Amino acid sequence: MNYRHIYHAGNFADVLKHAVLARLVRYMQNKDKAFRVLDTHAGIGLYDLSSEEAQKTGEWRDGIGRVLEAELVPQVAELLEPYLTAIRELNPEGGVRLYPGSPKLARMLFRPQDRLSAMELHPDDFQRLHRLFEGDHHARITELDGWLALGAHLPPKEKRGIVLVDPPFEEEGEYERLVDGLAKAWRRFPGGTYCLWYPIKKDAPIKQFHEALQALEIPKMLCAELTIKSDRGFTGLTGSGLIIVNPPFTLKDELHALLPALKDMLAQDRFASQRAFWLRGEH
């Protein structure tokens, strides 16, 4: 319960996660039918990067700060358009003082028929999230352990949805919980699109995690990873990964355009790398 995302908001991991989330939302909107975004570990929803906490780490400067200053080729600009447009709407005077967490970003991209269910267990963060969406009939905010939402809140009544699972990875066994949570959720809602975030750092069990996911035999699982520096002599976060279950058929090609550009923008040394590949399904 100690994790507070304000220290990390807008960092390179957020850039990858939110750029892909925005692509998923836009893809769902190719059909008129309503859908729901279920955000299991929602945080406070909106982050002030001028706050003492965000300034203390300054992680956003090497994340969204770099992206906003970069010269984007047309294809990459188009892929990042929904994500960056939301950020510019929040910061009409330029720069990036306010940064949207995933529930706020999704909500900003919605049409009138789309809906949000956001879970947050931390009492203070839940109150802030609740205030942010107070009076918004498109959003349902619940004080709940997000892992429980994967059973209790699926399938959504719209029968279409994106499930974002972005745990803080504070405790041992979170990779295993992610596998178990997906297995439980997919049994209840096999047609949903799932986006699971995980950290890449020294000695993280990524290979075992991928093998455990493959063993679930879910037909379509796409993996995207972005590493910004070497983990030699460094125990903190060096990379960020996403598992996308039932991805849009366009997403792999989009990632092949987007990930190299993000690597070039966000690299902190020559060991930065990126990859997008099928864990299961279309090779």
Could you read off the pLDDT of 165-193 as tens digits, one per residue? 999 888 889 999 999 999 999 999 999 99
The verdict on whether 48 is a catalytic residue reads: no
52 labelled as ligand-binding?
A: no
Return the biggest CA–CA distance within the chain: 50
Q: Which strands form 193-201's sheet, in the order they lie side by side? A: 139-142, 115-119, 36-39, 161-165, 193-201, 237-245, 221-227, 273-280
Continuous segment of H or E residues that includes residue 167: none
236 labelled as ligand-binding?
A: no
In the predicted model, what is the mean pLDDT of residues 240-256? 97
What domains sit in the chain, N to C, each tagged with a CATH number? 5-280 (3.40.50.150)
pLDDT-based confidence at residue 162 (cuts at 50, 70, 90): very high
Catalytic option among 166, 180, 203, 231: 166
pLDDT-based confidence at residue 3 (cuts at 50, 70, 90): low
146 labelled as ligand-binding?
A: yes
Q: Are 247 and 216 in contact (CB under 8 A)?
A: no
